[in-house]
Amino acid sequence: MAITVSIVEDNQGTRESLATLLARSPGLRCVGVHGSGEAALRGIPGEKPHVALVDIHLPGMTGIECVAKLKLQMPSLQVLMLTRYDESDMIFKSLRAGATGYVLKKMISTELVPAIEQVSAGGAPMSMQIARKVVNHFHQIKQPSSDVEKLTPREHEILGLLAKGYLYKEIGDELGITLNTVRTHLHVIYEKLHVQSRTEAALKFLGQ
């Protein structure tokens, strides 16, 4: 069965080039062409494509906004974003909106058809430059070096007093909070630290 595709692109020449490329590709079938995000929202739900190709820089409603709205109506729709630029902020906004893949327009002739096939098969294709930016982004995210670092400042404060041997009531008096509030905080702390007792929690705090 052919993979059905809808196009959302404001430039007429690019729209025509995309439609021609799809028409020449065995196994792919273009079911709709739209010049704006607004038109896409009206047409694509009725076309029910497997994949939507969406230009990120549309006039009026942006491609990112269009994708977010389409995904609310059609959660299973696979979306490939098309752009001339490899802007990092746009990449992550698109992915958060629900896009599955990202292809640079200068690579369309060689990468688009394989990308459509990959995304339809459950993959998440991206141009090599885009994939490298995604990898670099996650490399730069600081991961907590220990469970204790996951605690909020207040939880850290309570655990510190607990490690010093304070009783629950004494912790409450010291911090000006109720006994029930102390217990609630400790329940959350135990879950975050994956421990079952104050002794285990104190040891984890002291060892960090």
Q: What is the pLDDT of residues 1-17, one digit of tens each?
A: 899 999 999 999 999 99
Tell me how far CA of residue 199 lies from CA of 31, 107, 139, 166, in angstroms.
Answer: 64, 59, 35, 12
- Which pLDDT belongs to residue 86? 67
Q: Cα angle vertex 178, ends 188, 166, to 5°? A: 75
- Which pLDDT belongs to residue 127? 67
- Tell me: pLDDT of 208 over 60: no
Band the pLDDT of 147: cuts 50, 70, 90: confident
Tokens of 81: 């974003």
- Same structural domain, 60 and 152: no
List Cβ neighbours of 67 (8 Å cut-off, separation of 6 or more): 52, 54, 79, 81, 94, 97, 98, 99
- Tell me: pLDDT of 107 over 60: yes
Q: Please say whether the beta carbons of 43 and 4 come within 8 A.
A: no
Mean pLDDT of 119-124: 85
- Same structural domain, 69 and 135: yes
- Same structural domain, 22 and 87: yes
Select from 42, 33, 48 the least CA-distant residue to 66. 42
How confident is the model over 168-207, as pLDDT tens digits? 899 999 999 999 999 899 999 988 888 877 777 877 777 6
d(CA 99, CA 77): 9
- Same structural domain, 99 and 174: no
- Same structural domain, 7 and 62: yes
- The H-or-E segment that residue 95 falls in is helix 88-97
Which domain CATH number covers 158? Answer: 1.10.10.10
d(CA 16, CA 26): 18
- Same structural domain, 78 and 164: no
Q: What is the pTM of this model?
A: 0.65
Alpha carbon 104 to its chain centroid, in Å, reads: 19
- Same structural domain, 134 and 151: no
- Same structural domain, 74 and 160: no
How confident is the model over 71-80, as pLDDT tens digits? 999 999 999 9
Q: Please say whether the beta carbons of 76 and 97 come within 8 A.
A: no
Burial status of residue 100 (CB atoms within 10 A of its CB: 0-12, 13-18, 19 or more)? buried
Band the pLDDT of 136: cuts 50, 70, 90: confident
- Tell me: pLDDT of 116 over 70: yes
- Same structural domain, 130 and 80: yes
- Tell me: pLDDT of 100 over 80: yes
How confident is the model over 14-73, as pLDDT tens digits? 999 999 999 999 999 999 999 999 999 999 999 999 999 999 999 899 999 999 999 999
Q: What is the total count of domains within the chain?
A: 2
Give the domain-ending residue among 140, 173, 198.
Answer: 140
- Which pLDDT belongs to residue 203? 77
List Cβ neighbours of 37 (8 Å cut-off, separation of 6 or more): 8, 54, 58, 60, 61, 62, 63, 65, 66, 69
What residue numbers bound the domain in which 195 lies?
A: 147-207
Alpha carbon 118 to its chain centroid, in Å, reads: 18
Tokens of 1: 């069965």
- Same structural domain, 127 and 177: no
- Same structural domain, 23 and 111: yes
Give the domain-ending residue among 140, 168, 192.
Answer: 140
Give the domain-ending residue among 120, 140, 160.
Answer: 140
- Same structural domain, 132 and 182: no
Q: Cα angle vertex 126, ends 121, 128, to 5°? A: 135
